[in-house]
């Protein structure tokens, strides 16, 4: 077991290093640089002396190799650098945006679980019934709907409905207040984005719950339990669901890492000052340092989640360790 964990950990290192190299190269292949954007964004004049100064200060005049080695060295010592755009430490920029994104992500996960597990289970128990078909179409529609479009539509709906019913259109707040400061304002801001992201998330989970349940219900021990004359409810809750949930929980873990990708687009729709929007800004501003750090954060979350999932699986199922 220990050996397996160590191997998995060692394998994660080249993945992270490779991802870092890839991100580094990709960001630098983009034509133009942060200085031109910063000094020319007004549409008027780019002062040549100021441009040269800016580049020198950010180290953009050094060779790619030197920049890359510096980047590796800094990351190895957990120094994620200074944003080229704002001059603030990258961790500071990220920490300022993390609460919103995290809150939406957690809320979306809760919504997803609350929707997916009951619906997926019912759908499996009533396989091929009308209800099953409805749930399945609902689930596939969730995967097929771009979450930003769902966001736009929900905003239009909220605005128009409130406008029709009360005469004054209502919109969720456009600035974030922490939950403990003003729970009502906070929730009215995050609930819509959480639903739009959570719907897709729940759709994926619902499908897996259904199929996992179907598989488990065919297992021998379920037949045995039924043969013993146990109540169907007990069979489902105690035996089937419990066993079917393992892959579901895994998927929830993996999807959580990918949620950040989904937030990139959704945060635009709702003017959420989260890390998804920060990433888009960083890419637009060609703030390579910040963009790299954000992408590496996403990659890290993903790699760690996978690692944990793999180790958990190995722990539960000894066959994997030796294959």
Partner 1 sequence: MSVPRCVWAGLGLAAAVAIAPAWAETPKQGGTLTYLIPADAPPSFDAHRETTYATIHTAAPYYSVLIRVPPDNPASTTEFVCDLCTEMPKPTDDGKTYTFKILQGVKFHDGSPLTAQDVATSWQYIIKPPKGVTSARQSYYEMVDSVSAPDDQTVVFKLKYATTAFLPALADPYAWIYKKDILEKDPHWYEKNIMGSGPFKMVKYEVGQSITGERNKDYYHKGLPHLDGIVGIFSPKQSVRVDALRADRAAIEFRGLPPSARDQLTKELGDKVWVQDSDWNCGNILTPNHQKKPFDDPRVRKALALAIDQWHGAPALAKIANVRTVGGIVFPGSPLAATKEELQKIAGFWPDIEKSRAEAKKLLKEAGAEGLKFELLNRNVDQPYKFVGTWVIGEWKKIGLNVEQKVVPTGPWFSNMRAGTFDVAMEANCQSVVNPVLDTGKYLPHKVYPENYGYYDDDKSIQLYEAMQHETDPAKVRTAMRAYETYTLDTQTHEIVLPYWYRIILGRSYVKGFKISPSHYLNQDLLSIWLDK
Partner 2 sequence: MAVMTPTTAPADDAEALLRPHTILGRTINFARRKPLGTIGLLIVLVIIAAGICADWIAPFDPEENDFASMMVPPGLDHWLGTDQFGRDIFSRLVFGARTAMIVGFGAAVGGGIIGMVLGVTSAYFGGWFDLVLQRIFDILMAFPLIILALAVVSVFGTGVFNVVIAITIPLVPRCGRVVRASALAVRQVPYVDAARALGFGHARIVLCHMVPNVLAPFLILLSAFVGQAILAEASLSYLGLGVQEPVAAWGLMLQGSAEDYATTAPWIAIFPGLAIVLTVLGASLFGDALRDAIDPKLRDR
Of residues 194 through 253, those in contact with partner 1 by CB under 8 A are none
Q: Does residue 163 interact with partner 1 by CB under 8 A? A: yes
Paired residues of 89 in beta bridges: 82
Burial of 155 (0-12, 13-18, 19+ CB in 10 A): middle
Distance CA 109, CA 47 (A): 49
The least CB distance from residue 71 to partner 1, in Å, is 20
Token pair 């035996």 in the structure block, residue: 239
What are the structure tokens assigned to 138, written together? 């609902």
Distance CA 101, CA 274 (A): 5
DSSP characters for 203-251?
HHHHHHHHHHHHHHHTSHHHHHHHHTT--HHHIIIIIIIHHHHHHHHHH
Nearer to partner 2, 99 or 253 (CB): 253
Q: Does residue 18 interact with partner 2 by CB under 8 A? A: yes
Which of 39-47, 57-65, 98-106, 297-305 is the region at the interface with partner 2 (rule: CB under 8 A)? 297-305
87 contact, one of partner 2, partner 1, none, CB 5-8 Å limit per kind: partner 1
Q: Does residue 32 interact with partner 1 by CB under 8 A? A: yes
Q: Does residue 122 interact with partner 2 by CB under 8 A? A: no
Distance CA 93, CA 122 (A): 44
Query: What is the tally of helices (H) and strands (E) in the chain?
Result: 14, 0
Q: Does residue 116 interact with partner 1 by CB under 8 A? A: no
Q: Does residue 202 interact with partner 2 by CB under 8 A? A: no
Nearest residue to 88 via CA among 300, 295, 289, 299 = 289
Distance CA 116, CA 114 (A): 6
Backbone angles phi, psi at 89, to 5 degrees: -55, 140
Burial 165-177 (b: 16+ CB within 10 A, else e): eeeeeeebeeebe
15 contact, one of partner 1, partner 2, none, CB 5-8 Å limit per kind: partner 2
Among 243, 268, 305, 306, binds partner 1 (CB under 8 A): 268
Which of 60-68, 91-99, 228-236, 262-270 is the region at the interface with partner 2 (rule: CB under 8 A)? 262-270
The least CB distance from residue 19 to partner 2, in Å, is 5
Q: Does residue 40 interact with partner 1 by CB under 8 A? A: yes
Nearer to partner 1, 117 or 291 (CB): 291
Distance CA 12, CA 5 (A): 11
Which of 11-19, 103-111, 156-164, 313-321 is the region at the interface with partner 1 (rule: CB under 8 A)? 156-164
Paired residues of 82 in beta bridges: 89
The least CB distance from residue 151 to partner 1, in Å, is 11
Give the long-range contacts of residues 181-185, CB within 8 A, separation 24 or more: none
Of residues 273 through 292, those in contact with partner 1 by CB under 8 A are 273, 278, 281, 284-286
List interacting residues with partner 2 (CB under 8 A): 11, 14-16, 18-19, 22-23, 26-27, 29-30, 133, 136-137, 140-141, 143-146, 148-149, 152-153, 155-156, 159-160, 207-208, 210-212, 214-215, 247, 250-251, 254, 257-258, 260-262, 264-265, 268, 279-280, 283, 295, 298-299, 302-303, 306, 309-310, 313, 320
């Amino acid at each position: 077991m220990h050996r397996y964990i160590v191997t998995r950990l060692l394998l994660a290192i080249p993945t992270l290093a490779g991802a870092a190299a890839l991100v580094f190269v990709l960001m630098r292949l983009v034509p133009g640089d942060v200085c031109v954007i910063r000094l020319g964004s007004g549409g008027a004049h780019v002062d040549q002396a100021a441009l040269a100064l800016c580049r020198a200060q950010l180290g953009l005049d050094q060779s790619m190799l030197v920049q890359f080695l510096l980047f590796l060295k800094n990351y190895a010592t957990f120094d994620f650098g200074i944003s080229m755009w704002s001059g603030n430490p990258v961790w500071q920029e990220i920490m300022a945006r993390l609460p919103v994104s995290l809150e939406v992500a957690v809320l979306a996960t809760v919504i997803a679980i609350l929707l997916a597990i009951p619906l997926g289970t019912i759908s499996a128990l009533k396989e091929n019934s009308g209800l099953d078909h409805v749930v399945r179409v609902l689930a596939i529609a969730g995967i097929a709907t771009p979450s930003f479009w769902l966001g736009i539509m929900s905003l239009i709906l909220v605005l128009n409905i409130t406008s029709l019913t009360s005469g004054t259109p209502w919109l969720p707040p456009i600035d974030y207040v922490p939950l403990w400061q003003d729970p009502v304002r906070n929730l009215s801001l995050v609930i819509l984005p959480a639903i739009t992201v959570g719907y897709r998330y729940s759709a994926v989970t619902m499908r897996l719950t259904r199929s996992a349940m179907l598989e488990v219900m065919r297992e021998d021990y379920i037949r045995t339990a039924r043969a013993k004359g146990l109540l169907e409810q007990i069979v489902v809750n105690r035996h089937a669901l419990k066993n079917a949930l393992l892959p579901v929980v895994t998927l929830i873990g993996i999807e959580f890492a990918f949620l950040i990708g989904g937030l990139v687009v959704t945060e635009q729709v709702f003017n959420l000052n989260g890390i998804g929007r920060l990433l888009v800004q960083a890419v637009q501003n060609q703030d390579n340092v910040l963009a790299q750090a954000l992408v590496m954060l996403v990659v890290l979350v993903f790699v760690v989640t996978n690692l944990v999932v793999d180790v958990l699986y190995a722990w539960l199922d000894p066959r994997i360790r030796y294959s």
